[in-house]
Amino acid sequence: MPSPRPHILFIVLDTQRVDRLSCYGYPLPTTPNLDAFAAQATRFASAIAPAQWTVPSHASMFTGLYPSEHGMVQSYSVMADETTPLAERLREAGYYTAGFCNNPLVGVINNGLRRGFSSFLNYSGLLTSRPNQAGQSSGVIGRYRQWFKRQLSGVMTKLQDAFARSDWLLALSFTPLMVPLWQTALSFKGNTAKSLDDAANLLINRGHTKADQPIFAFVNLMGTHMPYHPPRAYIEKFAPHVLQDRDARNFLQRFNSDVYGWLAPLTGALDEEQKRTLDGMYDAEVAYQDALLGSFFDRLERAGCLDNTLVILCADHGEHLGEKQFMGHSLSIYNELVRVPLIVRDPRQRLGHGAVPEAVVSTRRLFHTVLDAAAIATPEEQALSLLATPTNPRETDYVFSEAIPPQNVVNLMQRRQPELVRDRACDQPRRAVWMGCHKLIETGSDHVELYDVQEDPQENLNLSAILPENVEALQECLAAFAGEIAGYGAAATALRRAPGYDDPEVQRRLQELGYLED
């Protein structure tokens, strides 16, 4: 008798840097619980996010497409009607699909990322939503309250949509008077503990599901996103100087309230104490979220819920904390943003517990992996599943990532610091391709960087002048991927797989340089 289709638990650690997890080599004990989980799972050594920020990265994980293919590259972008996202495919196949989301760009803005979910709980925004699992109110008063909440929720959603799509409202929200108000009112980072508790309740108690119906649970956690307000116990462990040093506390307070500073590049490097403060507070947030995840996994394991559950744990992107004078995750395509953690626990052990695959993989393939686990992938989709054996050889040859600047952020920077936009090419799309040990970054049409990411993961030594033939070959690969379409990135053109990559001359050059096997 065939085993039942597995439950699927898809956890996105929003803004989680891979190099701050101790299971990925970080020397501080930030993630003991994830370390233990990874030891019983498969930890991918080199997972690459298709984009540097929330909307395009989530859209890629939900559709299997690169950003220039799905077109969701701006805060005002909406998923195309003809695109069928992951949750919709699973619901049509009989899964109960539930979202537990702490990021307003995914859970509040009406951009199509919620399509296909039978239940979607939002823990951030001006009005959190708790459909289905909150229970139904009875009586006239209860029904009136529900009607009023629906009406108010609709108004608030339109208001938050307006802020996401309006340059003027965005600029207004970043004024000193507005920042404390909206950070508090929007419950910006949501409620990690509550969302994990609700997700566990669904998987354990199976409320609102049919008998033997498999569950797909998507969870987005914002614990490591700015601003930084971890519990005191974690500050004492990872940033004790903040409790003792008034200058450090003043800097942190200014940082937490300066939302524009989360977006724009720095005009000068952080000093040693500022960097120490940000690193320590970020680590404290990582450790606190790890503790909550540890309790969550322990509860599921004690209830036997992990026996037939595929667990995917990843990040949508990382975070700059002053490296290369960048902050946040709006612009760059360096490893601090696009190399992300990816841990997969497969109950059928097709990947091997404790395995650490070294091949570079794109997190867009999580779409194919989930469909494969649910036994609804097409042959073409199954070939890109991370569970497939052997993995698709072509995908392991190359991986792409795209950093198309959020236009409303660029517009805001143009008004405040136009010289910074010019000097740091903040308005230019950045694209990267990984082949072999090399990563090529192309900014706009006239600036390239080449790094050996195995020997130099921090991307400190630009090899473009030393290895011009490698640069030329990888540029041809990027050009094939982009399709040489006018207005690439700015128009969010819906590209398909660029046929130029299969050009015999491109293939020959890549083979000569050792990127492809004969």
Burial class (CB in 10 A: 0-12, 13-18, 19+), 63: buried
**Domains of the chain (ranges plus CATH)?**
7-392 (3.40.720.10), 428-518 (3.30.1120)
Distance CA 38, CA 385 (A): 19
Cα-Cα end-to-end distance for the chain: 44
Q: Cα 412 vs. chain centroid, distance in angstroms? A: 23
Q: Are strands 342-345 and 42-43 parallel, antiparallel or unpaired?
A: antiparallel
Residues 431 and 52: beta-carbon distance below 8 Å:
no
Q: Which of 97, 132, 67 lies closest to 370 in space, CA to CA?
A: 97
Residues 142 and 232: beta-carbon distance below 8 Å:
no
Give me the average pLDDT of each 10-residue run along the chain (518 residues): 80 98 98 97 97 97 96 92 97 97 88 95 70 43 54 54 57 57 63 96 92 96 95 98 97 90 91 98 98 98 96 98 95 97 94 90 97 96 84 62 93 93 95 95 94 96 96 92 50 38 64 64
- Can you give the pLDDT at residue 503? 63
Q: E strand or H helix at 316, and its extent?
A: none
- Can you give the pLDDT at residue 353? 84
Q: Are strands 438-443 and 447-452 parallel, antiparallel or unpaired?
A: antiparallel
Q: SS3 letters for 129-169?
A: ECCCCCCCCCHHHHHHHHHHHHHHHHHHHHHHHHHHHCHHH
Phi, psi of 459 (to 5 degrees): 55, 55
Residues 180 and 257: beta-carbon distance below 8 Å:
yes
